[in-house]
Structure 1
Amino acid sequence: MSAPKPRQEKTITLEMLQKMFQNIFEKTDWNMAGDMLWGYFFTNNEPAALEKARDLLVAQGYRYVNIYQLDEEDPNAPRPWWLHVEKEETHTPASLDARNDELYLFAYEQSLDSYDGMDIGPIPEQDE
């Protein structure tokens, strides 16, 4: 049995999130007081662990988007697999910091290589 992976160092700080929110307020007309579409990303060197993580996250209310690999210009560069899930949520910098803490811990508990962060956008309008 292999040793568990070390816990990932937190790389997304509350200060970074505060700056991100300020930038969104200054450069968009998004209503950050309401639900937005938040995407969350995880990496691993093989997809099976991400498939298990996907199932656990879907059970927690996240929506599965994709498991994929990026094309690398350098053929010798590592090509991790990525899991993308999303959730419609309202966040402040503090609540997003808490969500990130949960997802860092989740990645650690699932022995994933990393929780790689989030993206945000407006919720797409449904065609009626």
Structure 2
Amino acid sequence: MDSIPNKNITIEQLDEMFNDISDHGQWDLSKPLLWGYFFADNDPNKLELVIPKILSMGYTVVDIFQAKKENENEADSFYLHVEKIEIHNSKSLDKTNDEFYIFANQNGLGSYDGMDVGPVEQ
């Protein structure tokens, strides 16, 4: 993890997530699912600037949205939400996460903030 800048989602956490999904029968992990990925920054313009790169990587841009503040004194924080229909296991998702940590770092974004998953809408 030392060579990946700002990495905070471990392979062990991903193993646990995949086991939980499998154990609870939420979705069939052998089939394509809709994976969402989030980048954060205090400047929405910086998020806008990386959209062409994200699109060229085959992802769809969902939106840029402002995070809700815990209190009024907090700085504004914005998220870029992108998604892609993919099949993942913990190793492939860890690789994607690593690529996004590096992408965020190389493009001067505040952070790659993680992912979510859901069924593909029919």
**TM-score, normalising length: structure 1:** 0.88
Equivalent position of 2:87 in the other structure: 90
> Cα deviations across residues 12-69 of structure 1 (Å, max 9, x unaligned)?
0000000000010112341101111000000011011101112210111100101010
- Corresponding residue to 1:122 among 108, 119, 122: 119
Identical columns (%): 43
- The two structures have a TM-score, normalised by structure 2, of 0.93
Matched residue, 2:30: 33
Structure with higher Rg: it is: 1
Residues in 2 aligned to 1:67 and 1:81: alpha-carbon distance in whole angstroms = 7
| Uncovered stretches (5+) of structure 1, i.e. residues with no partner | 1-6
Work out which of the residue numbers 54, 57, 64 in structure 1 matches 2:61: 64
- Asked if 1:80 is matched to 2:77, the reply is yes
Which runs of structure 1 show a deviation greater than 3 angstroms over 4 or more consecutive aligned residues? none
Residue 104 of structure 2 corresponds to: 107
Q: What is the CA deviation profile of residues 68-87 of structure 1, one whole-angstrom value per residue up to 9, with x for unaligned ones?
A: 10221410012211000000
